């Protein structure tokens, strides 16, 4: 990290990022979503389905806060190249859990266009779950182009490329505390 005045900026590959959401602010927002999920799913034994790689951070933070009976599993999909969505979603690792009559919570790091979520929801429908909802750490409502509601949102953010807390730029930046916003486009 390099210091630019009182604000720390970080260089990832050829792009620079500035602090945008602090780790404590993000933790407070995750606390709120966890509370919503506990209230909604108490006694229902939900399956949290984290979307790798990015959602591992948010999924782990949620699990730390779940004092209800629940399970977690992961799928891996990709729709980004560099800082832009490719528009194509490719499933790399499939579902292994039985989902029929289960309450499933898809856990995302960020929902922007909604392409990844739509692909996952379509795949889940074939397994006849009792219910499916989406929980995301960050949501870009101005970029969202799908119809499915995003029920559990930690923070709404503008349509800018962000990294940190599980989000990356070509593999770098997932380990940054809080959220950083791109400076150079």
Q: Within 13 Å of residue 122, how many CA atoms lie on the same side as its CB?
A: 10
Query: What Cα–Cα distance (Å) separates residue 19 from each residue in 10, 45, 82, 97, 137?
Result: 9, 37, 19, 38, 16
Told to judge if 112 belongs to the known catalytic residues of this protein, a careful annotator would answer: yes
What is the rounded distance in angstroms from the CA atom of residue 157 to the CA atom of residue 138? 7
65-100 burial, b at 16+ Cβ within 10 Å, e below that, comes to: beeeebebebbebebbeebeeeeebeeeeebeeebe
Contact 109, 138 (CB under 8 A): yes
**What CA–CA distance (Å, rounded) separates 162 from 181?**
4
Residue tagged active-site, from 101, 109, 112, 147: 112
Instruction: Look at the alpha carbons of 58, 61, 67, 72 in this order and tell me if their dihedral is positive or negative.
Output: positive
The neighbouring-strand residues paired with 156 are 139
Instruction: List the catalytic residues.
Output: 112
């Amino acid at each position: 990290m390099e210091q630019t005045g009182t604000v720390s900026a970080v260089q990832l590959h050829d792009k620079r990022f500035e602090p945008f959401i602090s780790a404590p602010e993000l933790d407070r927002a995750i606390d709120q979503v966890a509370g919503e999920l506990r209230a909604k799913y108490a006694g229902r034994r939900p399956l949290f389905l984290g979307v790798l790689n990015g959602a591992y951070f948010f999924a782990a933070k949620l699990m730390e806060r779940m004092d209800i009976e629940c399970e977690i599993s992961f799928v891996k999909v990709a729709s980004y190249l560099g800082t832009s969505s490719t528009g194509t979603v490719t499933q790399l690792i499939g579902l292994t859990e039985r989902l029929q009559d289960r309450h499933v919570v898809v856990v995302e790091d960020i929902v922007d266009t909604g392409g990844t979520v739509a692909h996952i929801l379509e795949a889940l429908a074939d397994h006849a779950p009792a219910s499916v909802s989406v929980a995301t750490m960050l949501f870009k409502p101005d970029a969202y182009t799908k119809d499915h509601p995003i029920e559990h949102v930690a923070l709404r953010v503008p349509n800018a490329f962000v990294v940190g807390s599980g989000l990356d730029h070509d593999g770098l930046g997932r380990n940054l505390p809080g959220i950083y916003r791109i400076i150079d486009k």
